[in-house]
Amino acid sequence: MNKRDFIAIGVVVLLSVLGFVFFALKGSGGQTVKISVGARVYGTYPLSENRELKIKTDAGYNLVEIKNGRVFVKDADCKDKSCVKQGEISGGSIVCLPHKLVVEVTGEGDFDAVAR
């Protein structure tokens, strides 16, 4: 086996690894985080992308973090902080009653909810 063969095999291996990573990320990217305040949808975000969202309402603020396929309320200035205590979720919802904030993880193929 000469050097050129070795490089060719290396490229094939690299491409298949990248392909695997791509599909693995895509596969877990079907879930969506929907954040709503009262009756208003604040926004929808893919669960697969890490981000931090500071949501300000008339009642106060919530710091929502999406990290590694999970979502949680990192900080809030509500009185009971029950939304913070609800911890990380990868399904279901977190509710902050004083701020009328709902963080909801919707499953794959639930695109109607996003379009509405």
**Residues contributing to the site for Zn ion (CB under 5 A):** 76, 78, 83, 96
- Minimum CB distance to Zn ion, residue 62 (Å): 6
- Minimum CB distance to Zn ion, residue 66 (Å): 17
Residues 6+ apart with CB under 8 A from 111: none
- Minimum CB distance to Zn ion, residue 77 (Å): 8
Rank residues 67 and 81 by Cβ distance to Zn ion and give the closer one.
Answer: 81
Dihedral (CA of 112, 113, 114, 115) sign: positive
